[in-house]
Structure 1
Amino acid sequence: MADKKSESKPTTKPVPFSNEYAVKDPEQFAMNMARMFEHIGKAASAWVEPREKGDHVETGPVTMAEIVETLSKVGEYWMTDPTRAIEAQTRLFAGYMTVWNNSIRRLAGESVNGEAASSTKGDKRFSDEEWNQNFFFDFLKQAYLMTTRWADELVEEANGLDDHTRHKAAFYMRQVSNALSPTNFIMTNPELYRETIQSNGQNLVKGMKMFAEDIAAGKGNLRVRQADYSAFKIGEDIALTEGKVIAQNDICQIIQYSPQTDEVFKRPIIITPPWINKFYILDLKPEKSYVNWLVEQGHTVFLISWVNPDERHAMKTWKDYIEDGIKFGLDTAEKATGEKEFNMVGYCVGGTLLSAGIGYLKAKGDTRPQTATLFATQVDFEYAGDLLVFVDEEQLKTLEATMEAKGYLDGSQMAQAFNMLRSADLIWPYFVNNYLRGKDPMPFDLLFWNADATRMPKANHLFYLRNCYLENNLSRGEMVIGDTKIDLRAVDIPIYNLATKEDHIAPAKSVYRGSKSFGGDVSYVLAGSGHIAGVVNHPSRNKYQYWTGSAPHADGTFEEWFEKAEEHPGSWWPHWSEWIAEKSGTKKVKARKPGGGKMKAIEDAPGSYVKVQA
Structure 2
Amino acid sequence: MTTKVANSPPDLEKLNANVARIEALSQRLIAAIAQKRAPNPALEAPGFELYAKAAGAWWAEALQNPTKVMEQQVSYWGQALQHYVEAQKALAEGEMKAPDDPTPNDRRFANPLWKTHPYFNFIKQQYLRNAEAMQQAIGNLEGLDARDRARVDYFSKQILDLMAPTNFLATNPDALEKAVATEGESLVQGLENLVRDIEANHGDLVVTLADREAFQVGGNIATTPGKVVYRNRLIELIQYEPTTEKVREIPIVIFPPWINKFYIMDLKPQNSLIKWIVDQGFTLFVVSWKNPDATYADVGMDDYVEDGFLAAIREAKAITGEERVNAVGYCIAGTTLSLTLALLKKRGDKSVNSATFFTTLTDFSDPGEVGVFLDNDFVDGIEAECQRAGFLDKYFMSRTFSFLRANDLIYGPAIKSYMLGEAPPAFDLLFWNGDGTNLPARMAIEYLRGLCQSDGLAKGTFTICGEKVSLKDVKVPLCAIACETDHIAPWKSSFAGVRQMGAKDKTFILAESGHIAGIISPPGKDKYGHYTSDGPMEAAGDWKAGAEKHRGSWWPTWGDWLDERSGKKTAARAPGDAEHPLLTDAPGTYVTEVPNA
Fold conserved between structures, TM > 0.5: yes
Counterpart CA distance in 2 for 1:339 and 1:124 is: 54
What is the SS of the residue equivalent to 1:575? helix
Which of 269, 279, 285 in structure 2 is aligned with 1:286? 269
Question: Are residue 588 (structure 1) and residue 569 (structure 2) matched?
Answer: yes
Say whether the 8 Å CA contact 1:373–1:496 is kept in structure 2. yes
Correspondence for 1:504 among 470, 478, 487: 487
Which structure 1 segments of 5+ residues have no match?
1-18
C-alpha spacing 1:533/1:562, structure 2 compared with 1 (3 Å):
same
Q: In the alignment, does 2:231 pair up with 1:248? A: yes
Match of 1:189 in 2: 172
Secondary structure of 1:231's match?
A: coil
Q: Distance in 2 between matches of 1:69 and 1:209?
A: 40
Which residue of 2 is the match for residue 171 of structure 1? 154
Q: What is the letter of the counterpart of residue 271 of structure 1?
A: I
Q: In 2, Cα distance between the equivalents of 1:324 and 1:60?
A: 35
> Quick one: which of 567, 587, 593 aligns to 1:606?
587
Contact 1:78 1:88 in 2 (8 A): no
Deviations 1:70-113 (A, max 9, x none): 34542343357474765554343223124334545777799977
1:215 paired residue number: 198
SS in 2 for 1:287: helix
For these two proteins, the number of residue pairs brought into alignment is 583
Q: 1:41 to 1:157 in 2, by over 3 A?
A: farther
Matching residue of 1:468? 451
d(CA) in 2 for partners of 1:101 and 1:500? 47
From 298, 315, 328, the counterpart of 1:345? 328
Is 1:514 the equivalent of 2:494? no
CA distance in 2, matches of 1:85, 1:99: 22
Q: How many angstroms apart in 2 are the aligned matches of 1:124 and 1:351?
A: 35
Secondary structure of the residue that 1:256 maps to in structure 2? strand
Native 8 Å contact 1:515 1:552 kept in 2: no
Partner of 1:4: none
Shift of 1:318: 1.1
**2:43 corresponding residue in structure 1:** 62
Aligned pair partner of 1:314 in 288, 294, 297: 297
1:397 aligns to 2:380 (yes or no): yes
Q: Which residue of 2 aligns with 1:134?
A: 117
What is the deviation of 1:153? 2.0
Matched, 1:43 2:29: yes
Q: Which 10-residue stretch deviates more, 447-456 or 381-390?
A: 381-390
- C-alpha displacement of 1:22: 11
Q: Determine whether 1:431 maps to 2:414.
A: yes
C-alpha distance in 1 between matches for 2:422 and 2:41: 26
Distance 1:564 1:482, change over 3 A: same
Mapped partners of 2:88, 2:551: distance in 1: 48
Cα distance change, pair 391–140 in 1 and its aligned pair in 2 (3 A):
same
User: Comparing 100-109 with 135-144, which one deviates more in the overlay?
Assistant: 100-109
The residue matched to 2:430 in structure 1 has which SS? helix
> Separation in 2 of the partners of 1:31 and 1:73?
53
Structure 1 Cα separation of the partners of residues 138 and 333 of structure 2: 35
Q: Judging changes above 3 Å, is the alpha-carbon distance between structure 1 residues 194 and 536 closer, same or farther for their aligned structure 2 residues?
A: same
Task: Name the structure 2 match of 1:9.
Answer: none
- In structure 2, relative to structure 1, the CA distance for the partners of 1:381 and 1:442 (3 Å cut) is same
1:466 deviation in Å? 1.4
Q: C-alpha displacement at 1:480, in angstroms?
A: 1.1
Structure 1 equivalent of residue 280 of structure 2: 297
Q: Which amino acid aligns with 1:338?
A: G
Distance apart, 1:518 and its partner CA: 0.8
- Asked whether 1:557 is paired with 2:539, we answer yes
Q: Is the 8 A contact 1:21 1:194 kept in 2?
A: no
Cα RMSD, aligned residues only: 2.3
Runs of 4 or more above 6 Å deviation: 19-23, 105-113
Q: 1:449 to 1:230 in 2, by over 3 A?
A: same
**Quick one: which amino acid aligns to residue 600 of structure 1?**
P
Letter in structure 1 aligned against 2:199: A
Give the whole-Å Cα distance in 2 for the aligned partners of 1:589 and 1:204. Answer: 62
Q: Which residue of 2 aligns with 1:77?
A: 57
Whether 1:94 and 2:82 are equivalent positions in the alignment is no
- Which residue among 550, 553, 556 is the counterpart of 1:571? 553
TM-score, normalised by the number of residues in structure 1:
0.90
Q: Deviations over 1:448-468 (max 9, x none)?
A: 111001001111111111122
TM-superposed CA distance for 1:27, in Å, is: 6.2
1:593–1:470 CA distance, 2 compared to 1 (3 A)? same
Q: How far did 1:25 drift?
A: 4.5
TM-score normalized with structure 2 length: 0.93
Q: Choose the corresponding residue for 2:402, options 404, 407, 419.
A: 419
Secondary structure of the 1:539 match is coil
In the alignment, does 2:422 pair up with 1:442?
Answer: no
Query: In 2, are the aligned partners of 1:252 and 1:307 still within 8 Å (CA)?
Result: yes
Amino acid at match of 2:57: Y
Residues 23 and 306 (structure 1), Cα distance of their counterparts in 2 relative to 1, 3 Å cut: farther
| Alpha carbons of structure 1 residues 381 and 22: separation in structure 2 relative to 1, 3 Å | farther
User: Which letter does structure 2 place at the counterpart of 1:216?
Assistant: E
Shift of 1:130: 1.0
Q: Does 1:456 align with 2:421?
A: no
Tell me how far apart the structure 1 counterparts of residues 75 and 366 of structure 2 sit (CA, whole Å): 33
Task: State the partner residue of 2:354.
Answer: 371
1:541: how far off?
2.5
Q: Displacement, 1:594?
A: 0.8
| Paired position in structure 2 for 1:534 | 518
